[in-house]
Chain A
Amino acid sequence: GQSLEQPSEVTAVEGAIVQINCTYQTSGFYGLSWYQQHDGGAPTFLSYNGLDGLEETGRFSSFLSRSDSYGYLLLQELQMKDSASYFCAVRDGDTNAGKSTFGDGTTLTVKP
């Protein structure tokens, strides 16, 4: 099975940098994704790491270390609109299954 751990809440001020960590224990691993979900909305895809290292997409970056079963999402130049829940998700090792397991999410609150 799959198990993911991420902090339940993070608070930061506008303009700051925040890092949301995710550790996982999996029976198979194919990649780590991040999703954003605003209150009352649907999750939307942010980023994916299939290999070790850093992936950058604008103000957001995501990092993966497969040897440490660890990844993080880095949000820079925080804006009020970044207040949302962020979920890490592990794609199953069986690529034919085409499914992922989601963490319980981290609620980010950005304060003025």
Chain B
Amino acid sequence: NAGVTQTPKFRVLKTGQSMTLLCAQDMNHEYMYWYRQDPGMGLRLIHYSVGEGTTAKGEVPDGYNVSRLKKQNFLLGLESAAPSQTSVYFCASSSLAATSNEQFFGPGTRLTVL
């Protein structure tokens, strides 16, 4: 049982390049989330999904797109990377049945945009 995994762990991009971050969970969770965390800051929600085939915008969605074609996977895309998108990206998942909305986080992807 791997929990939540993220690929890649580290990435360096040049301004204008594109990339996709992959998140996978094996807990059969309905909800999945993408956050970004800047140094010394909290977690800011980029996009989230309440089920396969559905996505919704979070607090800071501009410059990002997501897709959830399969229940276990949640992809985050950067179409044209900017230095302001340098951050640590965390994926998380939670169960519909959990009244606490307890979220299980992946190990993070450290992205640098030059």
Contacts and interface: CB of A to CB of B under 8 A. Distances in A.
Tell me if chain B binds chain A.
yes
Contacts of A99: 31, 33, 45, 48, 58, 101
B105 interface: yes
B108 A42 contact: yes
B96 A33 contact: no
B43 A43 contact: yes
Contacts of A101: 45, 59
A97 B59 CA distance: 13
A100 interface: yes
Contacts of A44: 105
B41 A33 contact: no
The winner among A41, A50, A102 for most chain B CB atoms within 10 A is: A102
Size class of the A contact interface (CB-based, 8 Å): 20 to 34
Interface string B97-113: 00111111111100000
Interface string A77-112: 000000000010001000011111111110000000
| Of listed A44, A48, A99, residue having the most chain B CB within 10 A | A99
Contact of A42 (B44, B45, B90, B101): B90
A96 B108 CA distance: 26
Given A98-B94, A104-B42, A43 B102 contact: no
A102 B101 contact: no
Interface of B: 30-31, 33, 35, 40-45, 48, 50, 56, 58-59, 90, 92, 94, 96, 99-108
22 contacts: A30-B99, A31-B100, A33-B101, A43-B90, A43-B92, A44-B105, A45-B104, A48-B99, A91-B100, A91-B101, A96-B50, A97-B48, A98-B30, A98-B48, A99-B31, A99-B45, A99-B101, A100-B101, A101-B59, A104-B40, A104-B41, A104-B42
Interface of A: 30-31, 33, 35, 41-45, 48, 50, 87, 91, 96-105
